[in-house]
Amino acid sequence: MIENILWLAVGLMVASSIIPRTLRVRKLVGGIGWGTFSIHWGYQPLHYLEIQDYANVLLTIVVTLFCLLVAYIMYREYKNGPLYIKNREVLHSKFSAQGEADSLDITSMLTSATALGALVYFPFANFTPLNTWIIGGVTSQILWVLQYFDIPAYMKDWNMITLNGYTVEIILACTAIESIALFMGLIGAVRAPFNRLAMAFIASVPVIYILNLIRDVFVVVAYGEQWFGADSFIIAHNYIAKAGSGIALFAISYVVIRILPELFGMIDGLWIIFSQELRSLLHRSGGD
């Protein structure tokens, strides 16, 4: 049931992205899509409560509220006209394309980015053949790198690598498909010349994939060689590898934004619109 809701949300976002900009119904369709998306995320805390992962409980609640806020803003845009950002100023439009060439339709950009990212990620997360294909492929590539450096690892199962009796299981999170989908969604949502889009893609997706293989190889070797004692896997995977991934993604984001400054405009525009809407909601609730 929840998977059907997910795909309905993604389908509505895709529809909103391809409906012509001059038709105000695209905002309504996008708003319904974000509202439906909030149902998917609102269900996730139940799973994380069962496994006592309270950090992700909080994170998914925040994402749910974010989706509801976007849905609310897009509904208001449907009723009153789209909001555009130009020079950090919110411009109100009555569905006219006049003067939009150098301004950004933030909620539509966000919807397109989310739709594209979801279309890249969720098939791998929900369809077994694709899930098995990408995990198995990454597992084989990790083993190839290890054997290239004469490290005596072997494949215990289709997604498990063993070194010195210590086995690491490769799961979807080990493939970097989440980060790849994120950057593909962001890059795909930007209206920019093809050469800059291609440069941003090359600077992010292949780099993320290669760095992820290096991360996975490090975890296997650190655990198999017991570099950090009994807690080698936890230290290598949960601390060192995650910290390294965070630094790498920050650096890649910086490079991509330098290539596509429109992305910074979208992020800055989100902050401006959300701040304005939240202040408006708080003011009205305080007035009531």
pLDDT of residue 98: 44
Q: When comparing pLDDT for 125 and 22, which is higher?
A: 125
109-113, 198-202, 282-286: which range is least confident on average?
282-286
pLDDT of residue 286: 60
> At which residue do the structure tokens 């941003």 appear?
200
Question: Is the whole model's pTM more than 0.95, yes or no?
Answer: no
pLDDT of residue 102: 56
Q: What number is the average pLDDT over the span 152-165?
A: 96
Backbone phi, then psi, for 159, in 5-degree steps? Answer: -130, 25
Burial of 163 (0-12, 13-18, 19+ CB in 10 A): buried
* 133-150: b (≥16 Cβ within 10 Å) or e: ebbeebbeebbebbeeee
Q: 64-70: long-range contacts at Cβ-Cβ below 8 A with a sequence spacing of 24 or more?
A: 64/38, 65/38, 67/34, 67/35, 67/37, 67/38, 67/41, 68/34, 68/35, 68/38, 69/274, 69/277, 69/278, 70/31, 70/34, 70/107, 70/110, 70/111
Q: Is 215 a catalytic residue?
A: yes
Q: Where do the structural domains in the chain lie, given as residue ranges? A: 1-83, 127-287
pLDDT of 50-88, one tens digit each?
A: 877 787 889 899 999 999 999 999 998 898 877 776 655
Most confident range, picked from 1-10, 104-113, 128-137, 264-273:
128-137
Q: Is 67 a catalytic residue?
A: no
pLDDT of residue 93: 58
Q: Which of 26, 191, 215, 258 is flagged as catalytic?
A: 215
Q: Which of 21, 76, 174, 191 is flagged as catalytic?
A: 174
pLDDT of 201-234, one tens digit each?
A: 999 999 999 999 999 999 999 999 999 999 999 9
Answer whether 265's CB lies under 8 Å from 85's CB.
Answer: yes
